[in-house]
Structure 1
Amino acid sequence: MRTRHPSARRREEPLHTQSLDARSHECGVTDRTGESADSHVLPAGAGSAALLFPDINGNLRGKLVVPSELESESARTVGLPTTDLLLAVDPVDEPITTLTDIGITAGSKDLLLKPDTASVRRMPWLNDDAYLVLGDLNNTDGSTCEVSPRGVLRRALTALSECGLQIMAAFEFEFRLFRADSWEPATSGLSYSMAPLAQVADFVATFRSYAEAMRLGLSVVHSEGAPGLIEVNVDPAVGLDAADIAALLRTAATEAARRHDLRACFMSKPIAREEGSSAHVHFSFWNEGGDNALRGAVDDAHDEFYRRCASGIVQHLPAMSVIYNPTINSFKRLVPGYFAPVTAGCGPDDRSFALRALLRGPRSSRFELRRPGADCNPYLTLAAIAASAYLGLVDTVVPARDELDRHDAPLPNSLESAVSEFRRRDSRLDDVLGARFCRHYLHTREWELHAWQDAVSEWERQRYA
C-alpha cells in the first residue's frame, strides 16, 4: 500500500507557455513511414491494393481495388467513395438507428476515403504483390469527418503539438489462440515458457514473417498466464503510426492464425476465471529539441511535467474508461487479482497501478497505461491518452507529487457505469476530441449497452428456467 500524505496544491504556469529546449532531435525510433515519396501511392509492380480505414469499433474496413484506381488523380487528391454507414454500425454490423445525423437514419451518405501515402504496407497473406493503404475520411465538401477514429486521433495529436510535443507509443497486445471454430485453447503450459510457443511454432513463424513484411516492428512474442494466451510487443512509433501499427498487428495475427486453422481472439475476457487480454500502452512525449519530456522525472520526484501529465491521465481515467474498455465483456477482465487495474492509481514500476511510471533514464523513461483491453480501438485509445495528457499540461493547477501518489479513485466496473462517467466528462475533452465525436461515441456505447440488456444468455436459461 502507498503511504498517505497531506494534500497540497499550488498554481503554476501551464507548460505550453514555457520555452522548449532546442537541442538536436534523436528519438531513437524506427521510421516506418510509407515506401513512396513521389506522386505514386503504390510501389511499382503492385498487383492489388486494399484501401482501409478504422471504424468506431477498431475494425479495419475498406475495399480491394486495382492499383490504377488508387493511382488516379481523383483518388490521390480527393479520395474514393465509401459510406458513413460504416461509422454507424455495431460490432455485428447492425445499423445504430439511434444516430440521427449519420448512417442509415440519415441516408447513409457518401464519405471520401483519401489514401495516406505514408501508410503503405505489404499485405502478405493475400499474395506477394498485394498492398494495403490506410486512409482518412472526409466529407464530400472536403472537410474532415469528425467521427472518424483516425481523424479524432489527428485532432488530439494537433493539440499536443501546440505544446511543442509529439507522443511516441507502443501497444502491448495480449490475445488468445483457439482452435478454429472452437473455444479450445491452442496451447497449454506456463507463462513466459517456450513450451506453449513450441506448440504453435508454425503460427509464430508466419506471424513474424507477416509483421516483418509489413514493417510492424515486432520485437517480442511470449506466452502468458492462461491456456492459449499470447503477448506480443512492438517497437515504439510516433503518433498516428503507433495506432496504425496496433490495428495492423491485430489483423496480421488474425490472418496468420487463420492460415494454421487457429483463431486469434482479442476479446478482453473470453474465458471466465482465467486471465483476460490487455492492450497496455507504453508512451512518452518528445519536445521539439528531440528530448524525452520525462527526462527530468528520473532524478526529480517533483518534476512538473511528470505531475502534469500523470495528473491529466488519472483525472480523466473514469470518463475515458468507455474508450479504453468499450464493450460489456471489457469489464469482466477488470477484477482484482489479475493485474487489471480497478482504481486510478499512479506510481513507479508497480503493475497494480492503472498508470505505471517507468523512469529508467533520460531517453527510455515512459508511462504505461494498463487499463485498456485487447478489444480497444487503438486510434481512440491513443487519442484519449493524448487528450488527457494535453489537459494536464494546460491546467493552471498542478497537484503536488504526494497528492498524485495517493490518488486512488475507483474506476467504472461496468459499461453502464463507464457510460455514466462519460456523460459527466470534463467539457474540455470535447474541445480536444471534438464535440460531435463525443456525442456520436456516447450513442454507440448506449446502443451496445441496450443490446446487452435486451439479450437473454444461455447462463440465464440454465440458472432460471
Structure 2
Amino acid sequence: MSTDLDQLTDWLKEHKITEVECLISDLTGIARGKIAPTNKFIAEKGMRLPESVLLQTVTGDYVEDDIYYELLDPADIDMYCRPDPNAMFLVPWAIEPTAMVIHDTFDKMGNPIELSPRNLLKKVLKMYADHGWMPIVAPEMEFYLTKRSDDPDYPLQAPVGRSGRPETGRQSFSIDAANEFDPLFEDMYDWCEAQRLDLDTLIHEEGPAQMEINFRHGEALHLADQIMVFKRTMREAALKHDVAATFMAKPITDQPGSAMHLHQSVRDAQSGRNIFSNEDGSPSELFLSYIGGLQKYIPELLPLFAPNVNSFRRFLPDTSAPVNVEWGEENRTVGLRVPESSPQNRRIENRLPGADANPYLAIAASLLCGYIGMVEGLRPTQPVQGRGYERRNLRLPLTIEDALERLENCKALEKYLGKKFIAAYVAVKRAENENYKRVISSWEREFLLFSV
C-alpha cells in the first residue's frame, strides 16, 4: 500500500497539483466526495464519508427510514475511502492545478462496502480472475448537445453551431454536422488527452446534435473509471462553449435515445487468447454460453442498464433502440449484436444499456450475465436473420416498476450481487420513481387542463 501511495504522491508533485477532488460513485453514478488541499490529502491518505451517501437518490433524498436503518448503521457511521493510484486524472478545466482521484470504500474492519458500485464491479472481476479469465470491454457513449436552459419545463432544443443555425432533420454520420462544434470537441479531445482517456472515434448520431464517442477496448475497471471522468469532462467542455451536454437516455421527444453500447470479450489471463474463439477460428461453446447468460439474465438485471423512468422511454415502439435480448451477426435491430471480426477479436455488443446508466453497474451487470452463462453452460436461442425489432419472445420489462420487481424477486442473483445490494438499489430507484410521480407533467397540463 505504501508503494502505491508513494506513486500517487510523486504524481501529484510532478504535476504541481494544489487541490485534489476525492471521488466515489453513488448508485446513480453521481460523483460524491470532498475537495482537499494536496498536503492534507497526502497526510490523511484518503477520506471518510458517511455511508448514507450510497443511499441517496438522484434528487439528493434518501430511502424510507425503515429500509435505511435496515441497510445502514443507525448511527450514520463513516466509511473509509482509500485512493486508487490507478484512477487519478487531471482536471484540465480547473483554474488551479487540480486532480481527481477515484477512491474505494471500506468499513472500519477493512471489508469492501457492499453498496459501492465500484466494489461490485471489482467483485465480478474477481469471479472472472478465479477462472483465469480477463474480460475486455469497449464502451460507446452517446449524448446530446443542447441549448442551455434554466427552465426544466421547457423542451430541450438543438444548439446553434458555427453556421449560426441549429440542426434540423437527421444527420447520421455527417462530418459537416459534427464540425459545427469543432471548437468544443477540440477542447474535449485536448482535455481527454491530458487525462489519458482512451478515446477512439467521434460520430454524429441520428438526432440533432446527438454525438457518439467510442473508447478503445481495455480492462473493465479502468474503462468504467474513464466513463465516469469522461461524462464530467464532456459536460465541462460544453459549458465552456455555452451549450449543455446531456447523457439522459431520452432527452428529446420523437428523437432517438442515447445508449452506452458495451462491446465485450473474454481473454485467457495467461495466454491472452480470446476464449470466444476455437483454435480453428469458429465460435466457442463459451461464447455461445456467454450469449445465453446475457439472454437469460439481462431482463432480471435491467434496472442496472435502464436505471431511471426516462430510460424506458428509449424502449418505446418505433424507436431505434432494440427492446429484446435476441442476438444476431452484424444486426443492429437486436439487443445483442455480434460484429464481424477476426477470431481473436470476436466479441458481443450489448446494445441495451442507456447512456444514463452508472458505468460501474452496467459493466458489472453485463459481465455477470455472461459469467453465469459460461459457468452454467447456458445455451442461446437461434440467431436472428433480418429485422429483429418486432420480436416478442425474450421481451424486456417495459416500466421501471416491473423491472425493479423482477430484480427484487430473482433469487438466482442474490449469491452474486448480495441481498443487501439488491435491497439498497431497488429502494433507491423506487424512492426516485415515487418522487417522479409527484410531478405534474406538461402533457397533463396540455391535454387535461380544460378537457376533463
TM-score by length of 1: 0.86
Shift of 1:121: 1.3
Q: Tell which deviates more after alignment, 450-459 or 411-420.
A: 450-459
- Is residue 348–residue 358 contact of structure 1 (8 Å, CA) maintained in 2? yes
Letter in 2 for 1:149: P
Q: Kindly indicate whether residue 167 of structure 2 is the aligned counterpart of residue 188 of structure 1.
A: yes
Q: Give a deviation string over 1:142-183, Cα, whole Å, max 9, x none.
A: 221110111111111111112211111122111111122262
Looking at structure 2, the residues matched to 192 and 211 of structure 1 have their Cα atoms a distance apart, in angstroms, of: 22
Looking at structure 1, the residues matched to 306 and 443 of structure 2 have their Cα atoms a distance apart, in angstroms, of: 23
Task: Indicate which of 141, 151, 169 corresponds to 2:119.
Answer: 151
SS at match of 2:261: strand
SS at match of 1:58: coil
Task: Indicate which of 277, 281, 304 corresponds to 1:295.
Answer: 277
SS at match of 1:319: coil
Looking at structure 2, the residues matched to 153 and 180 of structure 1 have their Cα atoms a distance apart, in angstroms, of: 34
After superposition, where does 1:385-404 map in structure 2 within 5 Å?
A: 385-395=366-376, 397-399=377-379, 402=382
Looking at structure 1, the residues matched to 350 and 364 of structure 2 have their Cα atoms a distance apart, in angstroms, of: 13
Q: Tell which deviates more after alignment, 182-191 or 428-437.
A: 182-191
Q: Give a deviation string over 1:401-453, Cα, whole Å, max 9, x none.
A: 6489999411011111111221232x332222222111111111221222223
Q: Tell which deviates more after alignment, 166-175 or 124-133.
A: 124-133
Q: Give a deviation string over 1:307-340, Cα, whole Å, max 9, x none.
A: 1111111100111111100000001011334331
Measured on the aligned residues, the alpha-carbon RMSD in Å equals: 2.4
Q: Kindly indicate whether residue 94 of structure 2 is the aligned counterpart of residue 94 of structure 1.
A: no
Looking at structure 1, the residues matched to 338 and 126 of structure 2 have their Cα atoms a distance apart, in angstroms, of: 24
Q: Tell which deviates more after alignment, 100-109 or 247-256.
A: 100-109
Shift of 1:359: 4.5
Looking at structure 2, the residues matched to 357 and 175 of structure 1 have their Cα atoms a distance apart, in angstroms, of: 23
Counterpart in 2 of 1:376?
A: 357
Shift of 1:350: 0.4
Letter in 1 for 2:74: A
Counterpart in 1 of 2:405?
A: 420
Counterpart in 2 of 1:463?
A: 447
Letter in 2 for 1:148: S
After superposition, where does 1:43-54 map in structure 2 within 5 Å?
A: 43-44=13-14, 45-54=16-25
- Which sections of structure 1, spanning at least 5 residues, go unmatched? 1-33
- Is residue 408–residue 423 contact of structure 2 (8 Å, CA) maintained in 1? no
- Is residue 291–residue 379 contact of structure 2 (8 Å, CA) maintained in 1? no
Higher relative contact order at CA 8 Å, sep ≥6: structure 1 or structure 2? Answer: 1
Task: Indicate which of 370, 392, 396 corresponds to 1:411.
Answer: 396
Looking at structure 1, the residues matched to 355 and 279 of structure 2 have their Cα atoms a distance apart, in angstroms, of: 30
Looking at structure 2, the residues matched to 318 and 216 of structure 1 have their Cα atoms a distance apart, in angstroms, of: 31
- Is residue 303–residue 400 contact of structure 2 (8 Å, CA) maintained in 1? yes
Distance 1:139 1:103, change over 3 A: same
Q: Kindly indicate whether residue 281 of structure 2 is the aligned counterpart of residue 304 of structure 1.
A: no
SS at match of 1:439: helix
Counterpart in 1 of 2:431?
A: 447
Q: Tell which deviates more after alignment, 36-45 or 449-458.
A: 36-45
In the alignment of these two chains, the number of paired residues is 425
Counterpart in 2 of 1:133?
A: 101
Counterpart in 2 of 1:209?
A: 190
SS at match of 1:120: strand
Distance 1:407 1:297, change over 3 A: farther
Looking at structure 2, the residues matched to 36 and 279 of structure 1 have their Cα atoms a distance apart, in angstroms, of: 35
Q: Give a deviation string over 1:246-279, Cα, whole Å, max 9, x none.
A: 1111111011111111110111111111111111
Task: Indicate which of 22, 27, 47 corresponds to 1:56.
Answer: 27
After superposition, where does 1:37-436 map in structure 2 within 5 Å?
A: 37=7, 40=10, 42-44=12-14, 45-72=16-43, 74-75=44-45, 79-98=46-65, 99-101=67-69, 106-127=74-95, 129-181=97-149, 183-186=156-159, 187-188=166-167, 190-288=171-269, 289-296=271-278, 299-301=281-283, 303-395=284-376, 397-399=377-379, 402=382, 408-425=393-410, 427-436=411-420
SS at match of 2:202: strand
Shift of 1:209: 0.8
Looking at structure 2, the residues matched to 196 and 403 of structure 1 have their Cα atoms a distance apart, in angstroms, of: 35
SS at match of 1:363: helix
Distance 1:297 1:87, change over 3 A: farther
SS at match of 1:51: strand
SS at match of 1:117: strand
Distance 1:438 1:130, change over 3 A: same
SS at match of 1:212: helix
Distance 1:85 1:278, change over 3 A: same
SS at match of 1:286: strand
Q: Tell which deviates more after alignment, 285-294 or 407-416.
A: 407-416
Looking at structure 1, the residues matched to 335 and 179 of structure 2 have their Cα atoms a distance apart, in angstroms, of: 33
SS at match of 1:132: strand
Q: Tell which deviates more after alignment, 169-178 or 290-299.
A: 290-299
Distance 1:306 1:127, change over 3 A: same
Looking at structure 1, the residues matched to 442 and 174 of structure 2 have their Cα atoms a distance apart, in angstroms, of: 35
Letter in 1 for 2:424: H
Looking at structure 1, the residues matched to 122 and 60 of structure 2 have their Cα atoms a distance apart, in angstroms, of: 26
